[in-house]
Structure 1
Amino acid sequence: MLAHLHDDPGRLTYRDGGDVQDGSVASFYFSDSSSWETETVEILERLTDHEPILDVGCGAGTHLLWWADRGVEVIGVDVSPNAISTARERGCERVCVGDMHTLPVATDSVGAVHAVGTQLGLGRSLAGVRAILEEFDRVSHESGIAVVDNYDPTRLDESFLGYRSDPREGIAHRCFHFEFEREIESSGGTPTHHGCREVGRTLQFLLCSPERLREAATGTPWVVADVLRSPESEHYRAVLEKENKKGKTAVEY
């Protein structure tokens, strides 16, 4: 992200063994809202009434900037120092480095938690997802809401990069790592024959269906109020509300 911002993008890829997928930095982290899915904008608009909003895994700050342009109070957290540097250089003010498992945010200090990019799956198990939801509960108001996303394994197969099956219905796993390559210029500005290649650690995600997400939320103050996704899409977003709104029936769009 930071290299892209500085016009030295190189190439980012997702890799699982011999399977490779382009990292699409420009479209994932620097896209204009005019190119976003309708569901993305609807979610962002829905959260505007619950400020301050905590964007967990804020990346380059694209969603933070969208809210800030509309006068919404926002806070960004990302585990990557370079992501936070990128967001700051783009004009995001309240951003800091932090881990979603132990957020650097005061208890009961935000109205909404926005955590998309399937990072909830980094809990790696239903129990791990539950622990993350409990941390989201800690930092949010009693009437707070949260938005998370994931891929539904019942709509996936082994063609999905990093896919690992699981015998349980509605559960699967995903493993891959990032690789970043770029040429290093000599002092004279001519690219050398030797490039820079950085390899990230292997990431392990839990993939779970909306039904399994509801199971993971059991024992936390959260209930899944809405599930939003396009017809036949494997990707979905879930809106979670605190139990004091439990009377609402979950609806899938």
Structure 2
Amino acid sequence: MKQIIHDKDAYGKGLMAYQEGKKNAKFTVKSNIAETERWDISVFFRNESQMPEAETIALNHCKGKVLDAGAGAGSHSLWLKNKGFEVTSIDISEGAVEVMRKRNVTDARLEDFFLLSDTQKYDTILMLMNGIGIVQSIDRFPLFFSKAKQLLNTGGRIILDSSNIIYLYEDEDGGATININGDYYGEIEYQINYGKIIGEPFKWIFIDFETLKDMAEKEGFSCNKLYEDDHYLYVAELELL
């Protein structure tokens, strides 16, 4: 995993283009499980009134000092800032961090979650827009939970959203065909491009709630579902026991 993205930062360049006035800017997103998609970059700049229900519920469950991990353009950090929270906002994209600073995010840092110093503790780790994807694969979750324990105060929590992407493997009869001896079906590979800037491919994971709950409980966290929609997306709260 590349720790900090300096070159080929298509994600950061796209965010910067939008910040500088290109309001119709789009990412071209390739993956190994779906056709090439075009994403409106405006989605990363939503204000409070534009936040979807899932994200609003997640934000309302934040407590105390917050680490916004994979903060992107900083929209969730700004929501929390406006509510009086102390927030540290991290991302591995140089462009994203620059955009956050231009948007007056208070404490925006170019940092990798897994390399973050544990000298500063938090009450909430926030990981929205499937921020848990940074874990990349099922076998890296023990590493993730170990790092989260280092960063959280006693009784701290992780607030995240993700999706069960089993629907991508369903046939016309509603059954799903999965290789049980292969990788977990939520492990995918993405590539984000902006204009002529071709980003490096990276691994990402979408995790179903039951699998998340099982692993969290084994690692000393409770895991409760706060929200679920009709399209397999959910919000979870994991509390350190």
- What TM-score does the superposition give when structure 1 sets the normalisation length? 0.78
The 2-side partners of 1:73 and 1:57 are apart by 16
Structure 1 counterpart of 2:84: 71
- Gap change, CA 1:170 and 1:126, over 3 Å in 2: closer
The reply on whether 1:178 has 2:178 as its aligned counterpart is no
1:46 maps to which of 61, 72, 76:
61
Stretches of structure 2 lacking an aligned partner (at least 5 in a row): 1-14, 172-176
The reply on whether 1:88 has 2:104 as its aligned counterpart is no
Counterpart AA for 1:115: M
Counterpart AA for 1:200: G
The 1-side partners of 2:211 and 2:61 are apart by 24
Structure 2 counterpart of 1:247: none
C-alpha displacement at 1:5, in angstroms? Answer: 0.4
- SS of the residue corresponding to residue 136 of structure 1 reads helix
Structure 2 counterpart of 1:139: 151
- Gap change, CA 1:31 and 1:128, over 3 Å in 2: same
Stretches of structure 1 lacking an aligned partner (at least 5 in a row): 182-196, 244-253
1:128 maps to which of 136, 140, 144:
140
- What TM-score does the superposition give when structure 2 sets the normalisation length? 0.81
The reply on whether 1:111 has 2:123 as its aligned counterpart is yes
How many residue pairs get aligned? The number is 219
Matched-pair contact (CA < 8 Å) for 1:177–1:203: yes
The 2-side partners of 1:60 and 1:83 are apart by 5
Identity %: 17
Matched-pair contact (CA < 8 Å) for 2:31–2:188: no
7-16 vs 78-87, which moves further: 7-16
The reply on whether 1:209 has 2:224 as its aligned counterpart is no
Counterpart AA for 2:193: E
1:4 maps to which of 7, 18, 22:
18
2:40 maps to which of 8, 14, 24:
24
4+ aligned runs moved over 4 Å, structure 1: none
Matched-pair contact (CA < 8 Å) for 1:146–1:240: yes
Counterpart AA for 2:147: E
Structure 2 counterpart of 1:238: 236
The 2-side partners of 1:166 and 1:102 are apart by 33
- Gap change, CA 1:2 and 1:158, over 3 Å in 2: farther
- Gap change, CA 1:158 and 1:101, over 3 Å in 2: farther
C-alpha displacement at 1:172, in angstroms? Answer: 2.9
**Higher strand proportion (structure 1 or 2):** 1
- SS of the residue corresponding to residue 100 of structure 2 reads helix
